[in-house]
């Protein structure tokens, strides 16, 4: 596929005939996503994003379909790509494409296809045969943000990065794309940046990149850190992974978890959800950590805290959740127990040294999609799931709708906020105000039968908070 | 398909090309089934079932494939059918068929096809164009046992049952089959019974039927109650369901379990595993029970114990685990919260009034295989999973290998025991002796790194037990 | 004190002035013991034990006070001793003594005092200056049963045991007592045995002794094994210990359990309750087992299963639950981590080599009652709780009332049953029939708000059980 | 006792003869408080608080004794009072008094005695028959801070507060004390304020007061918010209460928790620890909340969230954890199930309407110290524990040593920090820097066998954090 030629059919999905099935599942998901549905009802008339061009780069799942249609309901002109080569649910993509919304995503893209899709998603036809960029970006992992920043840097004349040696195949793919765009659409990125008003970002990793850009003075637009809304990080990361890690493991390997030794690398929110889920199945969980506070939390919850090295030969399952790289090295994998399972639910595939594994001479046997067995010289094998990418999205269907309704309600409110304050926000990283965070939670209570207690005026005065909230100081940790 | 014509290709599976994939997964499963693999090693030379004709009627999954090949390794001549129309994994069936073992099973059989397959599985070609029956039967739910007993009763001249009105469609299918066999193979069942030496049965329900037959003096052969081996009922039923219920729910509905109200009907071993699994996900579980002891156990574990009626309108998920019928009635389903999920992990589909639902006028919408939405007049809908049959087998892949290795090691030892004692056992229901039960457990310890403590002679004398066990009185409950 | 002189004040308690406090707590306990209170209401008029002499040897706690008064309410003439030198709650004993019921028990008896109390409890004044024995015995651990059997053996002329070398100090105390009784009350035991009609026994250990006596043909009376009522072994042993182990540890040591490594020796019902309780606090629990089935259960619940030896130097807390002896040896204690805590919630103090510890030369420092520190030559110390006797009774107040109401309802029904069938029962060990077991459970449901589902006649027929129960086969394990 | 007369014996404790026992338990506690012991080793030579007058107002327990001796080891001149009338452990106070450290605390003070003790603790003899105040204050709940601020306000001429009507008896006691001091020690508070350099505060409530003072511009000194160190709020509040709530309930009531309905009011850190602890015992926990985020967290953890009103008549146990007042009202108590248990582990006794209860005409029966039964007109009773004050301190011994070592290591580092920066800090509320928070955690890892993973330089650069930490952004929630 050639992403930069003019688009005839303004979408790329695996199989449009899956649209009906996708629509049925979207209908079910809507029932489980009270936050988004409530935002639709509240803002439908007002349409605060009316006509605003929004590019999304976020796992193209059923839940994301509900997000997309919520953004459209509040007025946006949306184009979408997935942010992971394996995470698209093809019936979800088909259902969205069938409504005429441009979507560029299928399960099992190559890296070249992936970045072409990203470019497609931010190429709004200008009606004159050319393209305009988005006014707002919904990002997950920061790939759209990266692409625009790098493209703009190149157009400003700094060619150092695109011509430097690449640390990974993917890095080279990006550089190649930028060089191609430079030839085919000169000045494109400058046009994009001119209209771009903001980005809301979903993940720890993406947010981390944004803070680094901001600190370096290079951030081009205001950004909202959606990840650190309580109703995102303490819900999606924690409760989402508590449900979807085992789901991924089961669909991939049908493995009995009880009695197994499972190593969870990292005890942040994702690690907490993962470790508790595995233990509830009867696995004996070992945690690895670099941070003494998180390590002490793990110990207080009864988990053994050791290093990966200490577990080699005895552990059956390895799960990375860190947001860092080189957590499971090739040397680790070689020394694991025969038929150990290795997967990642944290961040990029570089949490595991996948490239090194591919180049190690280990014999690869594909068992089924997203499940590969690698056999080393010594006869031992390991199973690598989803090629080291997010196992819950690669091997199952990601987080369930209800928890994503929290995350995506934050995304939607962030988009509305960015547009409303486009003239006052600076090119900094913002967090949603606490009253919106509480509002997102509130939208989800009725669905699950929660009945809140209401403060009396007297009690509120005693606490020194408004009866309607917000109730907690900014530093409160929940 | 016509099951009683002479067989050219002596198997019926969905797609033989899936055999390679099935074999890869069988290889993985062998690694997780130390009990069976150890029995292979121990008995391979001796071949205690050498030449014995064995018919199996048991979910044709990857794990069952390892059981089949274990039975073959110890000498048996095996024919196999599934014991549930939805439980076959087609790649497992294909892999077995590819080795030349006659297997008759595919996912999504009609009831007519299902019972034809059962007949095929017990029709061993006699080399003269006719059929002989099995010498031993591995049963799960008792369908083979039922068919032989009912066929034999008919041949003995008692036509009352086959001519009586049927309480369900399935009952009529069986009667039709028996009438057809009576025409096409006169005297067949008498031949079968002549050679039949025993049956080992896997399930609570099947065992219950056996005890009823034995009490009524109608049991034709010795039977071994495998279900009540500790390493079966307290492992497969409890720990198996703890893993596979959520797996079935997730693959079917991708539903968030946290925050939901889930009703588990029955708090036996299956109910215990189900209730604990759902709670670990953050669901609020309500239990229903008829037995005051089990009800008190549920309460001591912190579950609310109410009736189904008390939960209508507030619960999101219903799971039947009872072994009884009419647990969820049509009236219940009509009164449930909109979009409630209803499924069964207990016993037959009659735990839920599926027939009544089908005939209720509710509009059925198929979402995907094994997931149907029924919409009632009042606009409310429910989702029925696996048409009311076992949700873990219909919507996922059943119990994981490791726990099935326990159940199937019991099955294999029971088969060997039945054959060895074919001349001394009476037509009664036996339980495996405790030392074999302990042996099954012992075979699984090394794989998961368990290190047993060994009694000293002095301690054993103090307890009054042998150093090598068995360690507990028969009435011990574990 | 001299137990065999004529009794003036027919009780021995620590401080009668505690009676008021005891009575207040008995009032509270009655509210938590619906099983016993319901039996009182049901049988008060009928008085099935009217005038029957009953000796109890069972921890003299608040809960036992409610049992004693229940036995009296149904007509019995009761005398009582504790079955453990540390388990008496002095205010409970005082309250009972204050009502005129002869009770012989205080916290912190010497072994000599303990066995004198046991003798007192079975010495009913005959009105002529002599004594008669009990007609029924409520036993816990089998000490009364032992004393009568050994006394009777001696009177029958077999002096071998009383003159043999003793394996422990306590054994010698018993022999000395028997010799003294032989002198002071010749023929006493024969009189006792003549009237004795039965014993109901509470514990695994005591029951085990009874089965051994019965097998050896030496059991003198019918016995009811109360321990193996489901509503005893699966409630008191499991749920009782789940509450009272931590209670004992906390009152003794105020120790943080989170983050600690705790070794639970044995994974029977007591071990299961103990292990789950400690884990819930955030301790990392290691289990030791000799039985492969229980070991596999522990592993399926996510516990590491190793030997005591493997844990020395790393574990912080040791709990024995086995019913066996020499589980924690002196050598173990010497090799433990400094300041490890050692306790027993299983059976006698010989689960831990307490005698060896006392004789080891370790320096003993008493911290407070029931808490001793032993410092070894190498400078390391351990803490021994309750001198190796039951830590929940020695350091806290034993099991809470509600669970004891189950056990004691079984005891009461067993006493009534023994008396009713005194002419038909043989000198064997009986278990209470399942309908009584279910009845005990039923009596406790309303108090905790449990609402049972009721079988329809049609469902009951389908299952082949009566609508009113009992519902399960005898071999059912719950 | 008359606190303001010159002190002859410069301590007031219940019974000095308990000092030996207290010392033994302090020795044990030191072993469990690696954070404090490590600070002693690190700073003993340097003595950063050499000669600094420190007043502590903090539960006078064994753990606090280790804190006091740590402060002394780093050079401080310490005087101490408890911050709760019931929380003193008399043997701990005796052991501290026996070393010559002035301590004013006993279990069961009247309110008048309590505030006199507080005054004593901040009255350092000036050697000339008068008194000087502390240079630093260790506060818990803010009572010392309150007293100084109110006393200073009065000396500055603002008599409005001391002459206003009092909302509670305690408020009037404080006013009376201030008026007496005004007479007996004119100018005292001005002297105190002159030397006062800072306060570190332990509790949510005390911190809240500090922020209010700071916002109002009335805070007199720099304050360190110790509560919001992660190693305090996420450890002491959460893991501490997880251990000590059940301990308090058990020692007070010996109640079976399994099967009970327990209402936990508030789902902050204290509520989270409380709710999880009760559930682990098999109680069915209902949560009440005002904050939608915390309510949603409770629901995601499987707790039912309702109002107190919804639970009246069905719940057995009520626990307040909110930091607010009037959570359990008199009307609530009247409508509770007979023999419901009511207690508070949150904040002051005003979480429960204790004053209203006392004045309600309900008949009070004291069961034992800290356990009172109140019987209403309708015949129903409730049990109130610790007179509504902290149940874990009033009925048990508070949090265990290990978790307090975290809190108190924060306190000690805060005191050192306040003194070191006394010339640079403003009269604001500070939080300890994250590297000290991580340091506190690090000091506790070895004791419980945690092995940290170490970042490589490459990984640290990838994350953009130093290899040695701190690792997380300020807004990270753990």
- What confidence tens digit (pLDDT) does each residue in C188-222 have? 999 999 999 999 999 988 999 999 999 999 999 99
**Beta-carbon separation of B258 and D282 below 8 A:** no
Q: Per the domain annotation, does D178 fall within a domain?
A: yes
In the complex, which subunits touch D with 3 or more CB pairs below 8 angstroms? A, B, C
Give CA D344 to chain center in angstroms.
Answer: 13
Query: Does residue B146 share a domain with residue B72?
Result: yes
- Residue B200, domain member (yes or no): yes
pLDDT, tens digit, 9 for 90 and up, residues B227-254: 999 999 999 999 999 999 999 999 999 9
Neighbours of B129 (CB within 10 A): 7
Residue C302 DSSP SS3: coil
| pLDDT value at A7 more than 90 | no
Question: Is position A352 within any domain?
Answer: yes
Whether the CB of B290 is below 8 Å from some CB of chain C: the reply is yes
Q: What ipTM did this prediction achieve? A: 0.95
Q: In the prediction, which pLDDT does D8 show?
A: 54
Q: Does C113 touch chain B (CB under 8 A)?
A: no
The reported pLDDT for the residue numbered D3 is 38
Region C106-132: what's the mean pLDDT? 96
Per CB-CB distance under 8 Å, the chain A contacts of C300 are 258-259, 282
Question: What is the Cβ-side half-sphere exposure of residue D288, based on CA atoms within 13 angstroms?
Answer: 22
Full strand arrangement of the beta sheet holding C429-431: C103-104, C77-81, C53-57, C136-139, C198-201, C223-225, C429-431
Average pLDDT of span C98-107: 97
Interface test with B, best of D285, D302, D303, D316 (most B CBs within 10 A): D302
* Whether A281 contacts A326, CB under 8 Å: no
Q: Does C355 touch chain B (CB under 8 A)?
A: no
Q: What is the CATH number of the domain that holds C88?
A: 3.40.50.1480
Chain A residues in contact with D444 (beta carbon < 8 A)? 296
Q: If you average pLDDT over residues A256-279, what whole number do you get?
A: 98
B213 and B320 belong to one structural domain: no
From residue B176, alpha-carbon distances to B22, B116, B133 in Å are 34, 11, 20
- Supply φ then ψ for residue A33, to 5 degrees: -120, 65
Confidence at A6, pLDDT banded by 50, 70, 90: very low
Question: Out of D283, D299, D301, whose CB is closest to B302?
Answer: D283
Give C8's pLDDT tier (boundaries 50, 70, 90).
low
Q: Are residues D219 and D253 in the same domain?
A: no
Contacts of C281 in chain A (CB under 8 A): 302
B379 in a labelled binding site = no
Residue B12 half-sphere exposure toward CB, CA atoms < 13 A = 23
Distance from CA of C246 to the nearest CA of A (A): 16
- Is D202 among the residues known to form the active site? yes
Whether residue A223 is found in the same domain as residue A363: no
Element (H, E) at C300: helix C292-300
Q: Provide the phi-psi class of D428: left if phi over 0, else alpha when psi is between -120 and 50, else beta.
A: beta
Q: Is there a single domain that holds both residue D252 and residue D178?
A: no
Is D59 one of the catalytic residues?
yes
Between CA C451 and CA C443 the distance in angstroms is 12
Strands B371-375 and B363-368: antiparallel
Query: Per-residue pLDDT averaged across D373-394, rounded?
Result: 97
Instruction: Give the count of Cβ contacts less than 8 A between chain B and C.
Output: 162
pLDDT in tens, D34-79: 999 999 999 989 999 999 999 999 999 999 999 999 999 999 999 9
Q: What is the mean pLDDT of residues C76-90?
A: 97
The answer to whether C283 contacts chain A (CB < 8 Å) is: yes
Range of the domain at C253: 241-395
- Residue D26 and residue D120 share a domain: yes
What the block records as the tokens of D234 is: 């996420």
pLDDT at A1: 36
**Residue C3: its pLDDT value, please?**
38
Say which of C123, C244, C277, C407 is annotated catalytic.
C407
* Nearest Cα residue in chain D from C281: D243
pLDDT of residue A167: 87
- With beta carbons under 8 A apart, name residues in chain C contacting D399: 256
Q: For residue C168, what pLDDT is reported?
A: 87
Determine whether D407 is an active site residue. Answer: yes
Omega cis (within 30) before C470: yes
pLDDT in tens, A147-157: 999 999 999 99
Asked whether residue A304 falls in the same domain as residue A379, the answer is yes
Residues of chain B with pLDDT under 50: 1-7
**Would A425 be classed as within a structural domain?**
yes
* Nearest partner of D450 among A305, A294, C284, judged by Cα: A305
Shared domain for B197 and B60, answered yes or no, is yes
- Residue D243 to residue C256, Cβ atoms within 8 A: yes
* Mean local confidence (pLDDT), D11-16: 97
> How would residue A210 be classed by pLDDT, with cut points 50, 70 and 90?
very high
Complete DSSP assignment for A239-278 = IIHHHHHHHHHHHHH----TT-EEEEE--SHHHHHHHHHH
Query: Whole-prediction pTM value?
Result: 0.96
Closest Cα of chain A to C281: distance in Å?
Answer: 8
Q: Give chain D positions within 8 Å (CB) of C403.
A: 256, 258
pLDDT of residue B457: 98
The stretch A287-294 carries a mean pLDDT of: 98
Tell me if C258 and A282 make a contact (CB, 8 A cut-off).
no
Chain A CB within 8 Å of residue C299 CB: yes
Asked if B158 and B79 sit in the same domain, the reply is yes
Contact with chain C for residue B325, Cβ under 8 A = yes
Report which of A258, A254, A156, A201 is spatially closest to residue A428, judged by C-alpha positions.
Answer: A201
Degrees to nearest 5, angle at CA A409 with A406 and A412? 155
C366 and C306 inside one domain:
yes
Assess contact for D376 and D339: CB atoms under 8 A: no
Rounded-to-integer distance, Cα D250 and Cα C154, Å: 46
Whether A97 is in a domain gets the answer: yes
Task: Give CA torsion, residues A33, A36, A39, A43, to 10 deg.
Answer: -130
Residue D87 among the catalytic residues: yes
Measured between beta carbons, the chain A residues lying within 8 angstroms of D234 are 297, 477
Residue C160, pLDDT score: 96
- B28 touching chain A per CB within 8 A: yes
What local confidence, expressed as pLDDT, does residue B333 receive? 98
Are both B282 and B193 inside the same structural domain?
no
pLDDT at res. B8? 54
Q: How far apart are CA A233 and CA A441, in angstroms?
A: 13
Please tell me which of the candidates A296, A310, A324 has its beta carbon nearest to residue D441: A296
Residue C241's pLDDT is 98
Interval D400-417 mean pLDDT: 97
In a domain, C236, yes or no: no
Residues C268, C366, single domain; the answer is yes
Q: If residue D367 lies in a helix (H) or strand (E), which one and from where to where?
A: strand D363-368
Would an 8 Å CB–CB cutoff place D33 in contact with chain C? no
Which distant-in-sequence residues (6+ apart) come within 8 Å of D75 by Cβ? D47, D48, D49, D50, D51, D52
Integer Cα distance of D178 and D154 in angstroms: 8
Residue A362: give its domain's CATH number: 3.40.50.720
CA–CA dist D394, D346 (Å, integer): 13
Calpha distance B18→A307 (Å, rounded): 41
Query: What's the average model confidence in pLDDT over D246-260?
Result: 98
- Tell whether B49 is covered by a domain: yes
Q: Are A381 and A375 in contact (CB under 8 A)?
A: yes
Inter-residue contact A334 to A374 (CB < 8 Å): no
Domain membership flag for residue C349: yes
Per-residue confidence (pLDDT) for residue A8, from 0 to 100: 55
**Domains in chain C, number:** 2
> Max CA-CA distance within chain D?
73
Q: Say if the Cβ atoms of A256 and B402 lie within 8 Å.
A: yes
Q: What pairs with residue A390 in β-bridges? A: A344
CA–CA distance, C294 with C272 (Å, rounded to integer): 9
Inter-chain CB proximity A441 and D231 less than 8 Å? no
Is D236 in the active site?
A: yes
**Which pLDDT tens digit goes with each residue over C379-406?**
999 999 999 999 999 999 999 999 999 9
- Closest Cα in chain C to D31: C339
Looking at chain D, the whole-number percentage of residues with pLDDT higher than 90 is: 96
User: Beta partners for B383?
Assistant: B341, B373
B235 to C300: CB separation less than 8 angstroms, yes or no: yes
Query: Does any CB of chain B come closer than 8 Å to the CB of residue C318?
Result: no
CB pairs under 8 A between C and D: 106
Question: Rounded to a whole number, what is the distance in angstroms from the first to the last CA of chain C?
Answer: 47
Mean pLDDT score across all residues of chain C:
96
Q: Does the annotation place B42 within a ligand binding site? A: no
Residue C408 and residue C227 in contact, taking contact as beta carbons nearer than 8 Å: no
Q: Nearest residue on chain D to C445, judged by CA atoms?
A: D259
Best C236, C288, C291 member to test B by mutation, with max B CBs in 10 Å, is: C291
């Amino acid at each position: 596929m050639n992403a930069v030629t003019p688009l005839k059919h303004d979408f790329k999905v695996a199989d449009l005939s899956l649209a009906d099935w996708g629509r049925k599942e979207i209908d079910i998901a809507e029932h489980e996503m009270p936050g988004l549905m409530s935002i639709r009802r509240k803002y439908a008339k007002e349409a605060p994003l009316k006509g605003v061009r929004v590019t999304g780069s976020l796992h193209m799942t059923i839940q994301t379909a509900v997000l997309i249609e919520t953004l459209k309901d509040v007025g946006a002109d949306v184009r979408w790509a997935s942010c992971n080569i394996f995470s698209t649910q093809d019936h979800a993509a088909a259902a969205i494409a069938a409504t005429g919304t441009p979507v560029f995503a299928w399960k099992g893209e190559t890296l070249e296809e992936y970045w072409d899709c990203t470019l497609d998603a931010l190429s709004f036809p200008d009606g004159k045969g050319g393209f305009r960029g988005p006014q707002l970006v919904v990002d997950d992992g920061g790939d759209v943000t990266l692409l625009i920043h790098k493209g703009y840097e190149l157009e400003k004349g700094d060619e150092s990065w695109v011509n430097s040696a690449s640390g990974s195949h993917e890095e080279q793919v990006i550089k190649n794309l930028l060089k191609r765009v430079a030839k085919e659409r000169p000045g494109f990125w400058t046009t994009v940046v001119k209209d771009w008003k903001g980005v809301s970002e979903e993940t720890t990793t993406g947010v981390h990149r944004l803070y680094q850009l901001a600190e370096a003075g290079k951030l081009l637009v205001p950004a909202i850190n959606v990840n650190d809304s309580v109703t995102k990080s303490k819900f999606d990361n924690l409760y989402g992974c508590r449900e979807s890690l085992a789901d991924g493991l089961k669909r991939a390997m049908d493995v009995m978890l009880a009695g197994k030794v499972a190593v969870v690398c990292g005890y942040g929110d994702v690690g907490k959800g993962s470790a508790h889920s595995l233990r509830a199945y009867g696995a004996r969980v070992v945690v690895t950590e670099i941070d003494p506070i998180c390590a002490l939390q793990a110990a207080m919850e009864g988990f053994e805290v050791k290093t990966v090295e200490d577990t080699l030969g005895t552990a059956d399952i390895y799960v990375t959740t860190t947001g860092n790289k080189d957590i499971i090295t090739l040397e680790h994998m070689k020394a694991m127990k025969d038929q150990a399972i290795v997967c990642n639910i944290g961040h990029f595939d570089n949490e595991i040294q996948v490239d090194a594994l591919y180049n190690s001479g280990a014999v690869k046997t594909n068992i089924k999609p997203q499940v590969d067995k690698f056999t080393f010289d010594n006869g031992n094998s390991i199973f690598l799931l989803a090629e080291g990418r997010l196992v819950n999205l690669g091997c199952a269907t990601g987080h369930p709708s209800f928890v994503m309704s929290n995350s995506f309600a934050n995304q939607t409110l962030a988009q509305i906020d960015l547009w409303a304050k486009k003239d006052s926000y600076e090119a900094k990283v913002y967090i949603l105000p606490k009253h919106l965070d509480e509002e997102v939670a509130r939208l989800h209570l009725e669905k699950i039968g929660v009945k809140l207690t209401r403060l009396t005026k007297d009690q509120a005065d005693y606490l020194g908070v408004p009866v309607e909230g917000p109730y907690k100081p900014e530093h409160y940790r929940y």
